[in-house]
Amino acid sequence: MTILAAGTTAPEFTLHSTPDQSVALKEFRGHNVILAFYPADWSPVCSDQLALYNELLDEFARLNAQLLAISVDGTWSHAALARERKFHFPLLSDFEPKGEVARAYGVYDAKAGVAGRALFVIDGDGVIRWSYLSPMGVNPGAAGIIKALEALPSNNIQKTLPADAAQEAA
């Protein structure tokens, strides 16, 4: 797997969030996006990872970011997992053609037939600003996501003193 690196334009996609509703990456232009690829619904590591992100939704919103989670599982599995775990963000199905979006981002594990555990922070212009591929059995946490979001120019506004105030301080 060769994960897409920072500075790369994020590949566009439209994936189902429910059997009759879709989400497109382009809908989030002007906002930061966190893409969290994960191997499978219902696995302990995946469920714990997504539960952590669910707890951080207010922090992500503060940083002008929308979380989108993607796996190759079907929409019905996603719906059951979201309902059971009370997730409040879209779980997107990269089901058919299987792993097409994960392949575009360089995170499809063809041998296992699943998306790798990968994270991307995409800015409001659709450019990947940070990416990370975690070992399959390791929850990558959220520290890297938060750090990457905080480093974005849109979230890192420098507060400066007016020129006359700076002169008075000198």
- The set of catalytic residues is 46
Dist. CA 69–CA 31, nearest whole Å = 16
Dist. CA 34–CA 154, nearest whole Å = 15
Dist. CA 67–CA 158, nearest whole Å = 25
The answer to whether 136 touches 112, Cβ cutoff 8 Å, is: yes
Contacts of 56 (CB under 8 A, 6+ apart): 142, 146
152 by DSSP, 3-state: which?
coil
